[in-house]
Amino acid sequence: MTTTAPYDKTNIFARILRGELPCKKVFENEFALAFEDIHPSAPVHVLVIPKGEFVSFDDFAAKASEVMQAGFWRAVGTVARQTGVDKTGYRIVANHGADAHQIVFHFHVHVIGGRQLSSKMANMPKELPQTA
């Protein structure tokens, strides 16, 4: 599946949003649901998803209303404060598409913290492209 494919209502996060699958809920309001990542990469690893059908960050940025965009990003901030990582530092990540290894095609933001994170944003490719 690509990020240009239409939204698939059977994706795992859509099913969590509908209550068909369980999650460890951290926060919920009219704009967003936040729950613990099933494969945490740090003591705090929460996924924040919008309550709407958006395939990826690009889809959300292009199509979500201003009210939804503001409400969603405020929810991300609330999750960081609620989990306490605002005090120690945290990283927010949204993987878009194949090169970023997006595996669930419902837009989500990872809130990662609770330990010292790598100074590298992500693994570098084995060989950097030649620039000259």
Contacts with ligand DGP by CB under 6 A lie at 12, 23, 35-39, 47, 95, 101-104
The catalytic position among 39, 96, 106, 108 is 108
What is the 8-class DSSP label of residue 19? T
Nearer to ligand DGP, 71 or 96 (CB): 96
Provide the minimum distance between the beta carbon of 95 and ligand DGP in the complex, in angstroms, as a whole number: 4
- Interatomic CA distance for residues 8 and 102, integer angstroms: 14
Nearer to ligand DGP, 25 or 87 (CB): 25
Can you give 81-102 as a three-state secondary structure string?
HHHCHHHHCEEEECCCCHHHCC
Provide the minimum distance between the beta carbon of 18 and ligand DGP in the complex, in angstroms, as a whole number: 13
37, 46 Cβ separation under 8 angstroms = yes
Among 113, 123, 115, 4, CA closest to 58: 4
Provide the minimum distance between the beta carbon of 21 and ligand DGP in the complex, in angstroms, as a whole number: 6
Whether 110 is a known active-site residue: answer no
Nearer to ligand DGP, 68 or 112 (CB): 112
- Interatomic CA distance for residues 60 and 106, integer angstroms: 10
Q: Give catalytic residues, as residue numbers.
A: 108
